[in-house]
Copies of this chain bind each other. A is one copy, B any other.
């Protein structure tokens, strides 16, 4: 097993060596190769229209109207099931998206460059709370906000990032971990840190005071603005970890609302899928688990790199928000994830654990040995199209994904059992 240990060390070394920098915000159709008219990228492993969940379908009809491929939601629904739209996973296009995770050509995406390895990753801009497409929203309010992101916010961010030659992200995460963020369900600190970094450049490159005030209000008023940056960063960090011969470190965890899929370094781009589970969480007033859609989104890239549920100890306030218990429970989530990871990240540490590094590099063997599935902090969407978020909670990656992955990994290594 010496070879596996070595390979996993290389895999985690690439995670730690990464240097992710937010460099630009561009229209997706311009910067994502292969994203043409008639193509819609979605969260999670591959899936066809027939097996998609309600909010995913709702978001898709909205996106078709946004792109002008159909005149209204009804016509969009027909087009979606006609077979004339190509549905593809974000992960196959260097991209990630939260919840439904849709990316269509006119949507702006943030570009994170991993300066150590030269690769780039993409994620849409966070739409804010309320009725939004990532939770299945698709009405006029949702589409108009998406149009404003493209017409106003994206060009302003692009100019600001050019003015300061990009925004290095690793140090922001390090600070955010000492300020109560775990970068999945809590991004208040990192959103503020980004705003304070970008505000001078936004001012310097602004076109008029009122528009600038609107941009600053939108970013500052959206506690989850940083989530999408963290996701693009996660993808930029994890992509160079793919294909390390002999490594059983997880390179992606992702859900489309129907299936949960994982990818493992040594088995390349193969998906190992199982039915998604229901989050265990707290619901907004008026909603209950009966309204909830199962787990969804590419945002689990955050846990894949050691944040989110893995960094719960940094964010005792999140533990309450997702119904995970007390401050002591928050510490225990992180401690238990240290049991299934190859190492710790010495640059991303948690003060409440006396500066222990976050658990880094999920080893599928350890997941199966300990029976501890990766813990994920997640938002909960309504199961019907067009409604939106109804709560937040904790969910586990399904064990079946890891069982399949280990089997394929072992076969590839030419051994019967590798644990």
| Interface membership of A411, Cβ < 8 A | no
Q: 12 A-B contacts, Cβ less than 8 Å apart?
A: A178-B180, A179-B188, A180-B351, A189-B189, A191-B196, A196-B216, A200-B217, A203-B212, A203-B216, A316-B352, A316-B354, A328-B354
Which B residue sits closest to A328, measured CB to CB? B354
Decide if A317 touches B193 in the complex (CB within 8 Å): no
Decide if A216 touches B199 in the complex (CB within 8 Å): yes
- Nearest Cβ in chain B — how far from A214, in angstroms? 8
Q: Give complex CA distance A193, B193 in Å.
A: 9
| Interface membership of A204, Cβ < 8 A | yes
| Interface membership of A147, Cβ < 8 A | no
**Number of chain A residues close to chain B: CB under 8 A:** 39
Find A203's partner among B189, B195, B201, B203 (CB 8 Å cutoff).
Answer: B203
Question: Please, which residues of chain B bring their CB within 8 A of the CB of A216?
Answer: 196, 199-200, 203
Find A213's partner among B203, B316, B320 (CB 8 Å cutoff).
Answer: B203
Q: Given A189-B179, A354-B326: A209 and B210 within 8 A (CB)? A: no
- Nearest Cβ in chain B — how far from A173, in angstroms? 14
Which B residue sits closest to A197, measured CB to CB? B220
| Interface membership of A171, Cβ < 8 A | no
Per-residue 0/1 for A113-126: is the Cβ within 8 Å of any B Cβ (1 yes, 0 no)? Answer: 00000000000000
Which 5 A-B pairs rank lowest in CB-CB distance, beginning with the nearest?
A196-B220, A192-B192, A316-B351, A200-B213, A203-B213
Question: Please, which residues of chain B bring their CB within 8 A of the CB of A178?
Answer: 180, 316-317
| Interface membership of A14, Cβ < 8 A | no
| Interface membership of A47, Cβ < 8 A | no
Per-residue 0/1 for A212-232: is the Cβ within 8 Å of any B Cβ (1 yes, 0 no)? Answer: 111011011000000000000
Which B residue sits closest to A326, measured CB to CB? B354
Q: Given A178-B317, A200-B216, A206-B203: A193 and B195 within 8 A (CB)? A: no
Per-residue 0/1 for A241-266: is the Cβ within 8 Å of any B Cβ (1 yes, 0 no)? Answer: 00000000000000000000000000
| Interface membership of A344, Cβ < 8 A | no
In A154-195, the 8 Å CB interface with B consists of 175, 178-180, 188-189, 191-193, 195
- Nearest Cβ in chain B — how far from A418, in angstroms? 37
Question: Please, which residues of chain B bring their CB within 8 A of the CB of A213?
Answer: 200-201, 203-204
Q: Given A180-B179, A351-B316: A220 and B200 within 8 A (CB)? A: yes
Q: Give complex CA distance A329, B355 in Å.
A: 14
Question: Please, which residues of chain B bring their CB within 8 A of the CB of A179?
Answer: 179-180, 188-189
Decide if B204 touches A206 in the complex (CB within 8 Å): no
Known A191-B196, A200-B216; further 18 A-B contacts with Cβ < 8 A: A179-B180, A179-B189, A192-B195, A195-B195, A196-B219, A197-B220, A200-B220, A203-B206, A203-B212, A203-B213, A203-B216, A204-B213, A316-B352, A317-B351, A320-B351, A320-B355, A328-B354, A352-B352
